[in-house]
Structure 1
Amino acid sequence: MKTAIVYASVHHKNTEKVVKAIAEKHPEIELIDATKTILKDLASYDLIGFASGIFYGKFHKSLLSFITENLPLRKKVFVMYTCGSDRAEAYLKDIKDLIKSKECTLTAAYSCLAYDTFGPFKLLGGINKGHPNEADLQKAVDFYEGLCK
């Protein structure tokens, strides 16, 4: 199965750690950094993943723009995100709507806690230090492998 994971990992590189752990076990996956790539033809991929940290309750704007500009109609899609808290459904609404507007199927979503120094957390030295950890990364690999079965 030809797979691409498009990601945006900005502050602490939490999301990048997750997608690179998957690609390390599955080198056939193409990783695409949405903060550096504006246009990319995704038509030939069987499965497309979108991954980002959560910023102000939403996926990174570069990832959302990438989806708007590049996601072909009727593709199988999965979503991954890293964040300082666990409010999965609230974070997924906008990206689900965007994926649905492209008539794509959202097959699954994966999330894990991640080091966060946003706002008042910076004064405290951040929260979720050490995340994503090895267990989080293995769960991400297992998540991807589950999608491929």
Structure 2
Amino acid sequence: MHPQLETRHPVYRGVRERNGGKWVCEVREPNKKTRIWLCTYPTPEMAARAHDVAAIALRGKSAPLNFEDSAWMLPRVASSSAEEIRRVASEAAERFRPVVSSPRQPMPSPSTLSSRPPPAVFVDEEALFNMSGLLKEMAEGLMLTPPEMGEREREE
């Protein structure tokens, strides 16, 4: 009898390896014995991102995630149907597909890469910290004239 080969990823939750170096992801539905099959991916990171989308959809804020930034970076699922979770998880995972250069286009040299500006990432702090009007209040604060200095402050 052959010992069963461990296929679970050593780091990422809900990710396991299939034959040929493909990575699959599935999540168990809460309070059920059924699982939602998400997809097969070329990298474990893509499968882990898909898992995070499904975990958030099924368990909300208490979901154990593979990546801390998944809570604010990944799209949300509109309904808890397996089809919707699978669709959104697949779209999210595609954002993390590695870029492979074609044979016609050589990989850029390190000097070329360092001369390029980093891609701009917009983080909406107002939404992230649930502080609507934060930028407006900060701008208003800059428009105020400073208070006059009192006698004691002038002497020092």
State the structure with bigger RCO (CA 8 A, min sep 6), 1 or 2.
1
Q: Which has the higher helix share?
A: 2
What's the TM-score, normalizing by structure 2? 0.25
User: Which structure is higher in strand share?
Assistant: 1
Q: Which has the larger radius of gyration?
A: 2
Q: Give the TM-score of the pair, scaled to structure 1.
A: 0.26
